């Protein structure tokens, strides 16, 4: 009977599909095939528990670390977008050098996603649980307080300049400044100051780097606008007012200025961290042409990120080896390739280990030195304020066509 044949065909299809999927899983190179071995592998092979090691000396030095990491064979990173500080090169180089397979979860997530991923994956030793983090300033202390981070001081610890936890729970990795990213194929008259953004010629052309109610970059663009419009590190309201002006004049679009809309010309004027803007400029290679402008007439706005290791990392040795790599000259130079100013910049410049051509792509040292960077408390307070008041101050009241 026809339907019997139908039923048999269906079952056959299921069998075939299952077999193919099993084969397909084995062949999938992108995802590390998690070893079925239970979590005790690390301690068994080296006799030293790397998850408790606070520095490379604790467990026998660099060679022991490399051996242990190779034995683990995998690393799970999180929220490392490929052209963010050239993390794709960082991950590829690390993987090639040590033969460790890297899985990057949720490349476009935010810092909160990272902490959530740690907490939700606590018992899980699979590739879903992150080993290392790249988190915004607020999440360092809060992560430490929540017990999500593990302390570790890399061998180059002393040459890291900037904010780092005394116990080694989190440490600054790179800096950037807020800049304008302009699609100069579409926009011929490039805005030079924050006030310029209000000009009528930019009607319907300005985009933010993210929703200020949820995105770190988005919120900081508002914070930077505040500084440029009479506000201060403790008063972010002028930033909201500025955005409100931008919105009601029709200049500001509620569209996130991703590379797609920028290249399309839908948001040819956007605000981004300079390293992201410079990376876009590189990858678009003139199609369209991008100009990165450091807004004048206002304090330069700076920001940084922390590196940290998860307290529940399934691969503690690989995690620590990653940090050693990131803070090595090679790793920090990879940041430079990605237009991020590395935390060990001063030390590396003094030893002349950064190629001259790379340095010129970065903003001048003087700019960074004069950059305004909020304290953790100020940043948290400002973000809170922005999130709570964005809708009432700026939010367009949604009638159609407005």
Partner 1 sequence: MVKVMKTKNNNGWGVFWAILGMLYFFVPLYGTFDFSLRAKKGVLSFLAYQDVLSSPQFLEHFRYSGIMGIITVVVSVLIFLPTVYWMYLRLPQARPVVEIISILPFIIPAIVYVFGLISTFGRPPLFLTLTPFRTDILITVGYVILSMPYMYRAIDVGMRSMDVRTLTEAAQSLGSNGFQVLFNVILPNMRIAVLSGALICFATVIGELVLGEFLVRPALGPYMVDVGRDQAYQPAAMAIIAWGLTWVCLGLIQIFGRGGTSQELVGR
Partner 2 sequence: MAETLLEIKSPKVVDRSHSFDSLRNWVGVLPFFLFILIFLILPSADLFVGAFQDKNGYFTFANVIILLTDPSVIQAYEISLKISVITSIAGGLFGFFVAYAITMGHAPRWMRNILMSFSGLAANFGGVPLAFAFIATLGHTGFISVFLKQICFSNPSGAQTCPFDIYQAGFNLYSLTGLTLAYLYFQFPLMVLTIAPALEGLKREWREASENLGGASWQYWWHVALPILWPSILGSSILLFASAFGAYATAEALTGGFINLVTILIGDEIRGDVLSNPNEGYALALGMIVVMAVCVTVYTILQRQTGRWLKS
**161 versus 245: smaller Cβ distance to partner 2:** 245
Indicate the SS3 state at residue 301: strand
- DSSP state, residue 196: G
Asked if residue 188 binds partner 1 (CB under 8 A), the reply is: no
**113 versus 241: smaller Cβ distance to partner 2:** 113
Asked if residue 166 binds partner 1 (CB under 8 A), the reply is: no
Asked if residue 117 binds partner 1 (CB under 8 A), the reply is: yes
| Structural tokens at position 96 | 């090639």
Rounded least distance, CB 186 to partner 2, Å: 8
Cβ atoms of residues 277 and 291 within 8 Å = no
Binding track, positions 268-307, relative to partner 1; x by CB under 8 A: -----------xx--xx-xxx-------------------
| Structural tokens at position 364 | 């001048």
215 binds, among partner 1, partner 2, none (CB under 5 to 8 A by kind): partner 2
Dist CA 331 CA 315 (whole Å): 20
CA distances, 111 to each of 59, 85, 323, 324 (Å): 30, 16, 18, 21
Question: For the packed helices 87-98 and 316-326, what is the interaxial angle rounded to 10 degrees?
Answer: 120
Among 13, 146, 353, 396, binds partner 1 (CB under 8 A): 13
CA distances, 203 to each of 142, 209, 257, 279, 368 (Å): 40, 17, 15, 26, 31
145 binds, among partner 2, partner 1, none (CB under 5 to 8 A by kind): none
Rounded least distance, CB 3 to partner 1, Å: 5
Rounded least distance, CB 70 to partner 1, Å: 20
- DSSP state, residue 215: -
Indicate the SS3 state at residue 38: coil
Rounded least distance, CB 122 to partner 1, Å: 8
Indicate the SS3 state at residue 84: coil
392 binds, among partner 1, partner 2, none (CB under 5 to 8 A by kind): partner 2
**47 versus 260: smaller Cβ distance to partner 2:** 260
Dist CA 233 CA 383 (whole Å): 11
331 binds, among partner 1, partner 2, none (CB under 5 to 8 A by kind): none
Binding site for partner 1 (CB under 8 A): 1-7, 10, 13-14, 17-18, 20-22, 24-31, 33-34, 36, 76, 81-84, 103-108, 116-117, 120-128, 258-260, 262-264, 279-280, 283-284, 286-288
């Amino acid at each position: 009977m026809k339907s019997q044949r139908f039923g048999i065909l269906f079952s056959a299809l299921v069998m075939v599909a299952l077999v193919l999927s099993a084969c397909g899983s084995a062949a999938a190179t992108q995802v590390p095939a998690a070893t079925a071995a239970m979590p005790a592998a690390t301690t068994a092979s080296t006799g030293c528990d790397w998850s408790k090691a606070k520095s490379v000396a604790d467990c026998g030095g660099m060679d022991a670390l490399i051996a242990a990491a190779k034995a683990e064979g995998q690393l799970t990173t999180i929220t490392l977008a490929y052209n963010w500080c050239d993390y794709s090169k960082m991950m590829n180089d690390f993987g090639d050098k040590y033969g460790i397979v890297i899985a990057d979860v949720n490349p476009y997530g935010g810092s909160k996603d990272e902490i959530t991923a740690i907490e939700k994956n606590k018992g899980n030793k699979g590739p879903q649980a992150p080993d290392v983090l790249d988190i915004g300033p607020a999440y360092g202390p809060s992560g430490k307080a929540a017990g999500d981070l593990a302390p570790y001081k890399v061998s180059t610890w002393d040459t890291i300049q900037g904010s780092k936890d005394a116990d080694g729970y989190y440490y600054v990795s790179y800096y950037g400044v807020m800049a304008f990213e302009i699609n100069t194929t579409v926009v011929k008259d490039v805005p030079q100051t924050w006030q310029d953004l209000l000009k009528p010629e930019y009607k319907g052309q300005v985009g933010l780097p993210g929703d200020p109610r949820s995105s770190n970059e988005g919120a900081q663009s508002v914070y930077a606008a505040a500084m440029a419009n009479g506000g201060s590190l403790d008063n972010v309201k002028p930033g909201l007012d500025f955005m409100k002006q931008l919105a009601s004049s029709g200049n500001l679009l509620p569209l996130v200025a991703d590379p797609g809309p920028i290249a399309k010309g839908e948001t040819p004027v956007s605000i981004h961290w300079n390293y992201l803007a410079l990376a876009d400029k590189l990858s678009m290679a003139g199609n369209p042409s991008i100009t990165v402008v450091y807004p004048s007439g206002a304090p330069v706005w700076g920001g940084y990120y922390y590196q940290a290791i998860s307290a529940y990392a399934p691969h503690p040795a690989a995690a620590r080896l990653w940090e050693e790599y990131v803070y090595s000259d090679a790793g920090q130079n990879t940041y430079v390739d990605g237009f991020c100013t590395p935390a060990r910049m001063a030390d590396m410049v003094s030893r002349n280990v950064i190629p001259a051509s790379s340095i010129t792509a970065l903003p001048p040292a003087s700019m960074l030195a004069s950059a305004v960077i909020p304290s953790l408390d100020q940043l948290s307070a400002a973000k809170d304020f922005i999130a709570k008041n964005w809708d009432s101050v700026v939010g367009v009241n949604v009638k159609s066509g407005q």
